[in-house]
Structure 1
Amino acid sequence: MHARNLIIALLIGAAPAPQAASFDCGKAATWVEKAICRDAGLSALDETMAERFRTAQESAADPTAMLTEQRAWLKRRNACRNTTCLHERYEARIQSLKASLAGTSDPSTPEVSEGRITDSGPSHSLSVLYPVFADPGLAEVNREVRRFVDSLVQPFRDELPNQAQADGDLEMPPWSLQVTYAPPYIAPHYIAIDFNGYDFRGGAHGMPIIAPLVLKRPSGQRLSSTDLFVPGSDWLGFLSDYCYDALKDRDFASADDDWLRSGTAPKTENYQWLFPGPKGLTVTFPPYMVAPYAAGPQSVLIPYARLSGRLSPELFTP
C-alpha cells in the first residue's frame, strides 16, 4: 500500500462513526443502520426523531397506538435503499411527530415552526434547523435564536476557503455541518433549546455540537449558566460534587480520575452546557472534557429538588 493511501486508511479507520441516539452504532447490522451511523446528518435526524417520539409517546392519549405507528414507520424507513430516501423519511416523520405534539400540547404553549439554513457543494454540506415561534410577543426570542444559529454557521463558512489547504493531498470526506434541535422546553419565564449536531472539517474525526440555548421570555435575553442561579449559592461547588459522583462509576472514569476531577472542577468554563428542561437540569460535558473522545459527551441530570435554594426564583418560580 502506498504511504499516502496508508495514511488515508488510518485516518478513516480512526474516525468514530456519529452515534445515533435511538440505537447503538457499535451493533449496527443492517444497511440502513450503518448508513445512519456513517452520515452525520442522518445521525442528527435520528436523534431528533427519537427525542420527539419519546416526548409524543409520553403525552399521547394512547401510547400503545403511538408505538404501533412508530413500528410501521420503521418498516418504511428500513425499505429505503439510498440516503436521500432516508433523509426524506426522517424529515417527514419529524414533522408528523411535531404535529402530534402540537395536537396534544397545552393551548398556552406557543406554536413553533421550523427555520432552515442549507448549503452544499462538491466538497461540503451544511444543514441547520432551528425553531421559529409564531407568537408575535416572542419576536425578540426569534431574533436571538437566529443570531445564535448564525454564530454556529459562520465559523464553518469562514473556514471553507481554507479547506483545500487543510486537507492537503489527503482524499478526505466532504466537510459537513449538521445542526438540529430537540423540541424546545417552554417554561413560564424562559425558553430552553437544545441544539445538537456534528461538525466535520477534516482530520481524523469531527466534533459533536453541544449547544444549549436558554432565553428569557419575552425579552430574548440570552441567559448564561451564572444567570440560572442565586448569587452566592455555591452552585459551582454543588454541581462539581454532584457531577463527579455521578460520573465516577461510569466505564470510562476508571482510566483517569485526575482527568475526571479536572473536567468537573468548580469552574465556570466547565459548566457552560446547561439545559434546564422539564425534569431537571442537564449538565453536559463535551468530548475530551472528562473522558477520551471515544467515550463521547457525558451528561448528568440533576433533579430540581436537589437544586432547591440555588436556582434563580426569577426564572424558576411558576
Structure 2
Amino acid sequence: MPILIAFAVLLLWLTSGAPASALDCGRAKTAQDKAICADPAALAADVAMTKAYSALSQRLSERDRKALLLSQRAWLKARTYGCPDATGGALAQCLARKSAERQSFLEGRPETGPGSGGRLVPVFIEQAGRKGYYEIDVTALKYAPPTSPGEKLFNAEVGKLLKKVPGGKNDAFGRDMIYSFILHMRMAYASPRFLSATIETYQFAGGAHGNSASNNINIDVAKGKILHFADVFAAAAKQKLDAECLRRILPQKAERAPDEKMEGKNLVDLKSAIAEGLGKLASWSFSTKGAQVSYDAYALGAYVEGPYSCEFPSTFLRPLVRPGFPLP
C-alpha cells in the first residue's frame, strides 16, 4: 500500500473507530510493500503492529490520538527508508523487525525480556514543521505508575530528556527553512533486575547538516541506580572487548573509508576512540541476543562515514561480566 494510502487508512481508523486492517497486498507498488506481502513473517508483523496501533488509538484522548497519528505517519516514512541496502528476503526481515519493534512500543512492552513489573506507556510529542516552527517527533516511554526504585529513576531520566525538546518556535531569524527535532526511545530489554533503553536523536537547527546521536539508559532496577561499565564487567574484560570491537570495526572502516590506511597513527587513534566509547555504559544497549556498542558520527571517522557499531553475542559477553550481574 503506498504511504499516502496508508495515511488515509490511519486517519479513517481515528475518525471511524473501525478495526485495524492489514496492508492491502493487492495494491502493493513499492519495493517495501511488495517485500512485506511476499514474506509471511513480515506480513504477520505488519498486521500485528497495525492492530496495536488501532488498539492504542481507541484508548487515547482526541488530543493524544492526533499526536499518535502524526507519530505513525513519521514512523511509516522512516520504515520505508529504514532498510536502504537490503533487498529480497533481507529487506522483508528488516521491515519485519522494525514492525515488531513498533508493535512493542505501541503496546508498552520491552522488545526483549519479561518486563520489570510496572506498566509502560508510550509518550508522544508531535508537531508538524512549518516556517518559524520546529518539526517535532518525540516518542518515549514511561512507567505509569513506577513500582520500583529503578522504574522511578527511569521516569526521572525520561523527564530530563523531554525537557530538552525545543519549544514550538525556532530561531531561524527569517531563514526559509524548517528546523527538526526527533527523539525515539526503545526499551531494548527489561526484567525485574535490569533495564536497558536506547534513545536516538536527530536535530537540524540551520547548520550545514543535522546531527544524530545515540544514547542508552542502563539501570539496576532494585537499587534504582544508573549502571556504569565497572558495575557490569570484570576488570580484565576491557582489553578483550577493545580487541573484539576493533576486529569488527576494521571491515566497516575499509568499506566506508577505503583510502584511509589503518596503520600507524591512524590505527592508534582508532583504537583509542574505540576504547573510550566501550568504557561508557551509555554507549551500550543490551538485549537477550547480546549487546551493541554505538559510536556516533565523528567518533571514529569523518561525518560522511556515519555512525559505527560493535555487536557482541551473549555467548561472548557472559564470561566477561561480574558474577551475579543479570546479563539478559
State the TM-score, normalizing by the size of structure 1: 0.61
1:202: Cα distance to partner? 1.9
Which whole-Å CA distance do the structure 1 matches of 2:117 and 2:313 have between them? 23
SS of the residue 2:219 aligns to = strand
Residue 152 (structure 1) aligned to one of 161, 166, 170: 161
The letter of the residue matching 1:217 is V
Corresponding position of 2:322? 312
Corresponding position of 2:199? 195
Residue 280 (structure 1) aligned to one of 284, 290, 313: 290
The letter of the residue matching 1:199 is Q
Provide Cα deviations, 1:90-112, integer angstroms capped at 9, x if missing partner: 6797458744969x985886542
Does the CA-based 8 Å contact 2:118-2:146 persist in structure 1? no
Residue 115 (structure 1) aligned to one of 123, 127, 132: 123
Provide Cα deviations, 1:223-266, integer angstroms capped at 9, x if missing partner: 12332212x22x33222211111111121253432556524426
Residues 1-318 of structure 1 aligned to structure 2 (within 5 Å): 64=40, 67-68=43-44, 70=46, 87-89=71-73, 94=102, 98-99=106-107, 110-117=118-125, 122-134=132-144, 136-138=146-148, 140-155=149-164, 157=166, 164=171, 167=172, 170-174=175-179, 176-230=180-234, 232-233=235-236, 235-250=237-252, 251-256=255-260, 257=262, 258-259=265-266, 261-265=268-272, 267-269=275-277, 271-272=279-280, 273-316=283-326
Does the CA-based 8 Å contact 2:140-2:186 persist in structure 1? no
- Kindly tell me: are residues 200 and 259 of structure 1, through their superposed partners in 2, closer, same or farther at Cα, counting changes over 3 Å? farther
The letter of the residue matching 1:223 is L
- Kindly tell me: are residues 72 and 108 of structure 1, through their superposed partners in 2, closer, same or farther at Cα, counting changes over 3 Å? closer
Provide Cα deviations, 1:155-188, integer angstroms capped at 9, x if missing partner: 5549x99x63xx56643322x2211122430135
Provide Cα deviations, 1:277-310, integer angstroms capped at 9, x if missing partner: 2111211111011122222211111112223432
Q: Which runs of 5+ in 2 are unaligned?
A: 5-38, 51-67, 77-98
- Kindly tell me: are residues 219 and 197 of structure 1, through their superposed partners in 2, closer, same or farther at Cα, counting changes over 3 Å? same
Which whole-Å CA distance do the structure 2 matches of 1:68 and 1:270 have between them? 37
Does the CA-based 8 Å contact 1:260-1:291 persist in structure 2? no
Which whole-Å CA distance do the structure 1 matches of 2:301 and 2:140 have between them? 29
Does the CA-based 8 Å contact 1:259-1:291 persist in structure 2? no
Provide Cα deviations, 1:25-76, integer angstroms capped at 9, x if missing partner: xxxxx887xxxxxxxxxxxxxxxxxxxxxxxxxxxxxx936624627989xx
Does the CA-based 8 Å contact 2:140-2:158 persist in structure 1? yes
The letter of the residue matching 1:114 is P
The letter of the residue matching 1:171 is D
Provide Cα deviations, 1:187-243, integer angstroms capped at 9, x if missing partner: 35211001113122220111113011101113321112332212x22x332222111
SS of the residue 1:226 aligns to = helix
Corresponding position of 2:25? none
How many residue pairs match? The answer is: 244
Percent identity of paired positions between Structure 1 and Structure 2: 20
Which whole-Å CA distance do the structure 2 matches of 1:193 and 1:173 have between them? 29
The letter of the residue matching 1:173 is I
The letter of the residue matching 1:184 is A
Which whole-Å CA distance do the structure 1 matches of 2:314 and 2:42 have between them? 29
Q: Which runs of 5+ in 1 are unaligned?
A: 1-29, 33-62, 75-83
SS of the residue 2:181 aligns to = strand
The letter of the residue matching 2:200 is N
- Kindly tell me: are residues 86 and 264 of structure 1, through their superposed partners in 2, closer, same or farther at Cα, counting changes over 3 Å? farther
The letter of the residue matching 1:152 is L
Which whole-Å CA distance do the structure 2 matches of 1:116 and 1:31 have between them? 21
* Farther off after superposition, 216-225 or 263-272: 263-272
Which protein, 1 or 2, shows the higher relative CO under an 8 Å CA cutoff with sep ≥ 6? 1
The letter of the residue matching 1:309 is P
